[in-house]
Amino acid sequence: MKLYPDISLRLFRVWQRNLIVYMQSWKVRSLPPLLEPIFYLVAFGVGLGSLVGGVRYAGEEISYTRFIAPALIAITVMNNAFFENSYASFVRMYYQKTFDAMMTTPLTVQEIIAGEILWGATKAVIATAIMMAAISVFGLISFPEGLLLLPIAFLGGLAFGGAGMICTALVPNIEIFNLPIFLFITPMFLFGGTFFPLESLPDWGRTTAVFLPLTHLVNLSRSSAIGRSDASVITGLAYLVLFVSASFPTALYLMRRRLIK
């Protein structure tokens, strides 16, 4: 027996629909990931960095810009995938009735949702690639290890896309997305080892951070951008893989429950 009898490769048709829409305005859509890291690096790196000086990472002193550059990529992965599968998927489901139309074709609900999450992860990878190009100009990514940022972005994209889709399946209206963003996304953005090392947090803060997906995504991104790895890479990967294996089927299940009446 197949684990998912209702999922076939047809799910790429849903993915492809989103790609077609994306490509219609790819220039505009590429601007934020291109400009955002530059803004951040200038503000935080040049502005704040001169106050902060260096940061100790993996037993070594590195510049503040080198420290936050991979975190900016991880944050972009989180934002792209989460927003795509929360707000954007909700608009397609609720306002545009795009899923309803798809459900009159041989596509199953599971394929539609899987295709959407896969698209969320793809968007995260596209944004990562653009950001990497911008950040590389500043010499802040070591190659070839830095190329691992792409598969890491995909894995992180699946994690946050799945989380976003679970919210989409549960929220009664679009305003409620403020809640998971306030409770889940913003704290991770600030405390996930992004702009300062986890070690600066009190014990309870560090323990909490270990349970947050962004913490692991930031750590993985930093390892590959700087080109240094330790045991935390294995735990980070294991955490994200586990997170995806739980959130993905949960999102499928909850969306099926929401859409099939």
Partner 1 sequence: MIDIVVEAKNLRKTFGGLVAVDDLSFSVMTGECFGILGPNGAGKTSTIKMIYAFSPPSGGTLNVLGMDISRHARAIKAKIGVCQQENNLDPDLTVLKNLEVFASYFNIPAAEAKRRSRELLELMAMEGRAASKPVELSGGMIRRVVVARALINRPELLILDEPTTGLDPQSRHQLWERLDVLKHNGLSILLTTHNMDEAARLCDRLIIVDRGRLVVEGRPPELVRRHVGRHIIEITDHNEPVRAFLRERNVPFESVGHRTLVGLENGEELCGRIKERFPDAACTMRMANLEDVFLRLTGRELRE
Query: Quick one: the chain helix, strand, coil %, rounded to 5?
Result: 80, 5, 20
DSSP secondary-structure letter at 87? I
- Rounded to 10 deg, the angle between the 26-40 and 109-137 helix axes is 50
Among 96, 178, 200, 207, binds partner 1 (CB under 8 A): 96
CB nearer partner 1, residue 49 or residue 120: 120
Among 38, 103, 129, 201, binds partner 1 (CB under 8 A): 103
Among 21, 23, 183, 190, binds partner 1 (CB under 8 A): 21
Among 42, 43, 101, 238, binds partner 1 (CB under 8 A): 101
Q: Using the rule CB under 8 A, is 200 a contact of partner 1? A: no
Stretch that binds partner 1, among 29-37, 65-73, 92-100, 137-145 (CB under 8 A): 92-100
Q: Which residues, 6+ apart, have CB-to-CB distance to 37 below 8 Å?
A: 69, 72, 73, 76, 131, 134, 135
Q: Which residues, 6+ apart, have CB-to-CB distance to 178 below 8 Å?
A: none
Q: Is 48 exposed, middle or buried (0-12, 13-18, 19+ CB in 10 A)?
A: middle
Among 4, 23, 24, 43, binds partner 1 (CB under 8 A): 24
Q: Using the rule CB under 8 A, is 27 a contact of partner 1? A: no
Site string for partner 1, 107-146 (x = CB under 8 A): xx--------------------------------------
